[in-house]
């Protein structure tokens, strides 16, 4: 039996899932799960990369106890964040994308290359945490002077396993530094921003074997978790998807990047897929409800919260993409600041969050159809948010699309599929 191991790490947890072909399908078993989260260090928001590596190795040990003949493994995580490297060692801390350090440099970046030109070259949406702004902040602070390169977080973790440094295509596209035309790092952007050219090597595709750990081949999947999630959707034809987690990534596969002025103004992105372009948009996702729950009712089950939210009559909406919701000290206070009056009960906040998300999906689907010149009749939802039946119902009502909710580990499944059909050596 050909067993492979997918290590799928999100902003709040990680999991190790073994997969194998059985009949015409793929069977999976979760063998290890661990917590993750942003930590505060000297007033900045960071990731504990030592803890991540510890759990990555511990999970591999657990997987090998039950499946000693695992043939390959791969790691996917969220996008945009990275570890600076110097002589093979990390330059810490590893900043988290919700940290505010880029705010001071975004204007300077756009003075050197205005965002319309950045978008024309890359097709990547504006987000204040995009990697190019983070790297430029590191340049201004002098951190780049201490480094000879960088690795995105999944690349860093695989480097610590097998000793091979690599830059994987799908995750690299999220940096805002990859040319939509060539599919490689854009030397024009790198030069204008004064970033070290030595940092930016050739990009490798999902399915490439980069090394070995304990007799297991270490292989690149689509290391951006959304790239793997789209690979894991059992989709009929080419239909839109929502990868619903901390963020909701709503998009559709296209043959090539869709770079238009309308797309730029509506903040649509073109990110790399495993052999195709992903035309998609970041929408603030389950982060809203997760933070509300942690603040207002941490011990209440989700089904009770959602059932009560469905019965209430608080019908005001907020713009879920308002920056006020990105990293507030109080999510309740953030909602209060954007509502004409606060809800009278806790359930009202969750009702507002769900209805606002569904409305955000509606607007995004309408933009996508206009920008691509295509109409779609179905919307696939995967990830943790696919389990929220109330939100799924609201989404179907709001968008007018048939919603197919698949509460599966789509990211791990996509990671596994790439490994099972991959195997190209470096």
Active site residue 303: no
The 3-state DSSP composition of the chain as helix, strand, coil percent (nearest 5) reads 40, 25, 35
Backbone angles phi, psi at 46, to 5 degrees: -135, 170
Residue 343: CA count within 13 A, CB half-sphere: 23
231 CB-near residues (< 8 Å, 6+ apart): 222, 273, 274, 413, 414, 415, 417, 418
Query: Residue 2: left if φ>0, alpha if ψ -120 to 50, beta else—which one?
Result: beta
Q: Of the listed 76, 99, 138, 225, which one is catalytic?
A: 225
Give the DSSP letter of residue 321: T
- Other beta carbons within 10 Å of 28: 18
By the 8 A CB rule, do 288 and 331 touch? yes
Instruction: Scan for tokens 């350090």, then name that residue.
Output: 101
Alpha-carbon distances of 194 from 87, 94, 140, 191, 240, rounded to whole Å: 21, 21, 10, 5, 38
What region, left, alpha or beta, does residue 221 occupy, with left being phi > 0 and alpha being psi -120 to 50 degrees?
Answer: beta
Cβ atoms of 101 and 95 within 8 Å: the answer is yes
Per the CB < 8 A criterion, the answer to whether 361 and 395 are in contact is: yes
Q: Count other C-beta atoms under 10 Å from residue 250's C-beta.
A: 27
Active-site residue list: 225
């Amino acid at each position: 039996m050909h067993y492979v191991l997918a290590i799928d790490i999100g902003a709040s947890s990680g999991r190790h899932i073994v997969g194998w072909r059985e009949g015409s399908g793929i069977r999976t078993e979760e063998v290890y799960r661990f917590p993750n989260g942003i930590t505060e260090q000297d007033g900045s928001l960071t990731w504990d990369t030592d803890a991540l590596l510890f759990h990555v190795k511990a999970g591999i040990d657990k997987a090998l106890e039950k499946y000693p003949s695992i043939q390959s493994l791969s790691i996917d995580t969220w996008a945009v964040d990275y570890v600076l490297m110097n002589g093979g060692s990390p330059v810490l801390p590893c900043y988290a994308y919700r940290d505010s350090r880029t705010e001071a440099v975004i204007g300077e970046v756009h003075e050197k290359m205005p965002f319309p030109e950045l978008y024309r070259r890359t097709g990547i949406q504006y987000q204040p945490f995009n990697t190019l702004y983070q790297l430029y902040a590191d340049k201004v602070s002098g951190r780049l002077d201490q480094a000879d390169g960088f690795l995105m977080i999944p690349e860093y973790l695989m480097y610590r396993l097998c000793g091979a440094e690599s830059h994987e295509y799908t995750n690299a596209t999220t940096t805002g530094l990859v040319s939509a035309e060539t599919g490689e790092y854009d030397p024009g952007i790198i030069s204008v921003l004064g970033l070290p050219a030595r940092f930016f090597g050739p990009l490798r595709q999902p399915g490439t074997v980069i090394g070995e750990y304990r007799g297991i081949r270490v292989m690149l999947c689509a290391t951006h978790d959304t790239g793997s999630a789209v690979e894991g959707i059992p989709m009929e034809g080419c239909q839109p998807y929502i990868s619903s987690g901390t963020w909701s990534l709503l998009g559709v596969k296209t043959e090539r990047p869709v770079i238009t002025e309308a797309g730029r103004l509506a903040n649509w992105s073109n990110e790399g897929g495993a052999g195709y372009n992903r035309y998609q948009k970041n929408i603030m996702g389950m982060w809203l409800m997760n933070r509300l729950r942690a603040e207002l009712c941490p011990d209440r089950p989700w089904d009770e919260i959602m059932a009560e939210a469905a019965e209430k009559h608080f019908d005001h909406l907020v713009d879920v993409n308002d920056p006020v919701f990105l990293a507030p000290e109080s999510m309740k206070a953030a909602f209060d600041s954007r509502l004409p009056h606060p809800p009278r009960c806790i359930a009202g906040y969750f009702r507002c969050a769900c209805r606002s998300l569904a409305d955000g999906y509606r607007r995004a689907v309408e933009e996508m159809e206009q920008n691509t010149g295509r109409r779609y009749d179905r919307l696939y939802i995967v990830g943790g948010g696919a389990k929220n039946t109330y939100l799924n119902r609201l989404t179907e009502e709001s968008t007018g699309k048939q919603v197919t909710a698949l509460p599966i580990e789509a990211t791990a499944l996509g990671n596994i599929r790439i490994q099972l059909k991959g195997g190209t050596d470096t």
